Amino acid sequence: MAGKTFKIMLVLLLLLSLPGCYNYNEPDEIAWVLALGLDRGRENILTVTAVIAVPKDIAGAGGGEAASGGGSQGGFFTVSLEAPTLLSSLELLNAVVDRRVNLSHTTWFIFSRELAEQGINRYFAPIARFYQFRRTSHVVTCEGRADEFLTRGRPVMESNVSKYYELLQLGWKYTEFIPRDNFHTFYYEAHSIGVAPVTFLAALEKDERVFPDNSPKPKGEYEAGRLPRRGGGKIELMGAAVYKKGVMVGTLDADELGIRKMFNNTFKRTIMDVPDPNHPGKFIIMEVNPRTGPDIDISIDENGYPVIKVHLRLEGEVISIQSGTHYETPENIGIIEAAVEKKVMKDIAVTINKSKELEADFFGFGLQAKKLFPTWPRWEAYRWDEKYPQADIEVTVDYRVRRTGLLHEMAPIR
């Protein structure tokens, strides 16, 4: 009997361990940090800005209701601290935030352009090592200061600022101008030979005019901070910042980023304004999708420089023909296809030139070139980054019109 009682007591004792009381934390006693911004410090090395969720505002707003007012700035508040390192600032946060700060839901890491141009290598380490961070979070480079960006970057349609950040970056699936890259890809590419990493490029809406006149400009020339607009959310996410050895060396506009996505097989869809070959000043508006992944063939010429041949297969749909010309007929459809190919080839030439000017292989051709080398020592000895600017890159584009929308032809306007 005594033995039985002992066993029952032992089982009950073991049950006590299940809830893990030592680490018990009520969710409403935690301050969830949704984004972290890093700027060059004003009173210390860094200014670290944390976006902290205010759950009662998020819950009170109801599903889909936009964030508004309240005691905070609409579902969140920001705290900026001057600190020598990222993680020391997070401990300091507990001096001004009543709840225990937790980083497991951090979605964005924002680096100001000023800091990015000085180099951000040293800030990777805690993000990769500290258990609360996740490699699935995203790295953003913002024009101007990150503290201002985060404080003013309030959602318009969402009550949850974390959802706002996530939905913004999910635009990579249906636009050409948002990269798919997350912290993991950035970190991996930053540590690899043969590829230059990129981050999202973001900016706050500018009050002043971006362009002085209304001359035609392809929308692909825009990038964050250079997007002519009025209204909407304050944050613009468009284009990418290119890094080399942890230092930001340049930016990619929408079209350039689209070409990068086509080459590294993360491209999904874009809408392209193609100049009408028979009607100057008018556009054919096309949807462009990948037909298959790119064929990339890399070899080394007799001088030891890379020869890169890329064949892109694209397809798409006619969305609009401003001139009203019957390009939809089988005998004319080739005109549209050729026009799209010409436009894409032009963008490709510009983008390749930029990558060579920056001496940064942001297409990741080097990752394919690795296949030519049997071992790491041989691959490292080749010094891809030095050879890439002299690479001979040949690209061919094959675009097919698959559909013509809801119309098979347009009657002229009389």
Partner 1 sequence: MMRGKPVIGVSEATTLMFVLLLSRIFLAHIVFIIDAAANAAWMVPIADTIMALAALYLLVAVLKREPGLNLAETGERLVGPYINTGFSLYYLVVFVAGAGLTLRQLSERVLSGFLPDTPISLVSSFILLGSLAVAYLGPEAVARTARFLVSVIVVSTLVLIIMTVPLWQTNAMYPLWGNGLPGILKGIVNNTGDFVYILLLGFIYPFLPGDRALSIGFWSVAAMGASMFIFVLVAILVFAYPTVSELNNPTFEVARMVNLGRFGQRLEILFLPIWMFSNLVFLSISLYAGSSVLATLSRVTDNRPFLFSAAVLTMVVAFMPQSEPQAARWTHIFISRYSFYILVGILLALIGAGLLKGGGKDDGRQNL
Question: What is the closest distance, in whole angstroms, from the C-beta atom of residue 263 to partner 1 in the complex?
Answer: 13
Q: Does 365 bind partner 1 (CB under 8 A)?
A: no
The residue range among 12-20, 32-40, 151-159, 208-216 that interacts with partner 1, by the rule CB under 8 A, is 12-20
* Given 56, 378, 400, 408, the residue binding partner 1 (CB under 8 A): 378
Quick note: the x/- pattern for partner 1 over 271-290, rule CB under 8 A, is --------------------
How is residue 360 written in tokens? 């940064």
Of the candidates 398, 294, 277, 285, the residue with the CA atom closest to the CA atom of residue 339: 277
Q: Does 374 bind partner 1 (CB under 8 A)?
A: yes
Q: Does 5 bind partner 1 (CB under 8 A)?
A: no
Question: What is the closest distance, in whole angstroms, from the C-beta atom of residue 176 to partner 1 in the complex?
Answer: 20
**CB within 8 Å of 218: residues ≥ 6 apart:** 255, 273
Q: Does 381 bind partner 1 (CB under 8 A)?
A: no
How is residue 40 written in tokens? 């060059």
Question: What is the closest distance, in whole angstroms, from the C-beta atom of residue 264 to partner 1 in the complex?
Answer: 10
**CB within 8 Å of 102: residues ≥ 6 apart:** 30, 31, 32, 33, 132
Query: Closest CB to partner 1 among 227 and 367?
Result: 367
Query: Closest CB to partner 1 among 136 and 215?
Result: 136
Q: Pinpoint the alpha helices (H) of 264-304.
A: none
The residue range among 49-57, 186-194, 271-279, 303-311 that interacts with partner 1, by the rule CB under 8 A, is 186-194
Q: How many residues bind partner 1 (CB under 8 A)?
A: 30
The residue range among 50-58, 89-97, 132-140, 398-406 that interacts with partner 1, by the rule CB under 8 A, is 132-140
Q: Does 124 bind partner 1 (CB under 8 A)?
A: no
Q: How far apart are CA 130 and CA 285, in angstroms?
A: 47
What 8-state DSSP symbol labels residue 38?
Answer: E
Question: What is the closest distance, in whole angstroms, from the C-beta atom of residue 287 to partner 1 in the complex?
Answer: 23
Q: Does 99 bind partner 1 (CB under 8 A)?
A: no
Q: Does 226 bind partner 1 (CB under 8 A)?
A: no
319: helix, coil or strand?
strand
Q: Does 371 bind partner 1 (CB under 8 A)?
A: yes
Buried b (16+ CB within 10 A) or exposed e, 6-15: eeeeeeeeee
A 10 A CB-CB count for 98 gives 7
Q: How far apart are CA 390 and CA 297, in angstroms?
A: 16
Q: Does 377 bind partner 1 (CB under 8 A)?
A: yes
Question: What is the closest distance, in whole angstroms, from the C-beta atom of residue 135 to partner 1 in the complex?
Answer: 6
Q: Does 408 bind partner 1 (CB under 8 A)?
A: no
Tell me the residue type at 240: A
* Given 187, 234, 268, 356, the residue binding partner 1 (CB under 8 A): 187
The residue range among 87-95, 238-246, 271-279, 374-382 that interacts with partner 1, by the rule CB under 8 A, is 374-382
Q: How far apart are CA 186 and CA 193, in angstroms?
A: 13
The interaxial angle of helices 121-129 and 183-190, nearest 10 deg, is: 130
Question: What is the closest distance, in whole angstroms, from the C-beta atom of residue 14 to partner 1 in the complex?
Answer: 7
Q: Which residue has the tokens 């490709």?
A: 348
* Given 152, 184, 206, 356, the residue binding partner 1 (CB under 8 A): 184
Q: Is 232 left (phi over 0), alpha (psi -120 to 50) or beta?
A: left
Q: How far apart are CA 202 and CA 9, in angstroms?
A: 60
Query: Closest CB to partner 1 among 39 and 189?
Result: 189
Of the candidates 271, 191, 175, the residue with the CA atom closest to the CA atom of residue 224: 175
* Given 126, 171, 313, 373, the residue binding partner 1 (CB under 8 A): 373
Question: What is the closest distance, in whole angstroms, from the C-beta atom of residue 17 to partner 1 in the complex?
Answer: 5
Tell me the residue type at 117: E
**Distances, alpha carbon 111 to alpha carbons 14, 66, 203, in Å:** 47, 27, 11
* Given 327, 368, 393, 399, the residue binding partner 1 (CB under 8 A): 368
| CA 284 centroid distance within chain | 28
Query: Closest CB to partner 1 among 135 and 229?
Result: 135
Q: Which residues bind partner 1 (CB under 8 A)?
A: 14, 17, 20, 22-23, 128, 131, 134-136, 163, 166, 170, 182, 184, 187-188, 191-192, 367-368, 370-371, 373-379
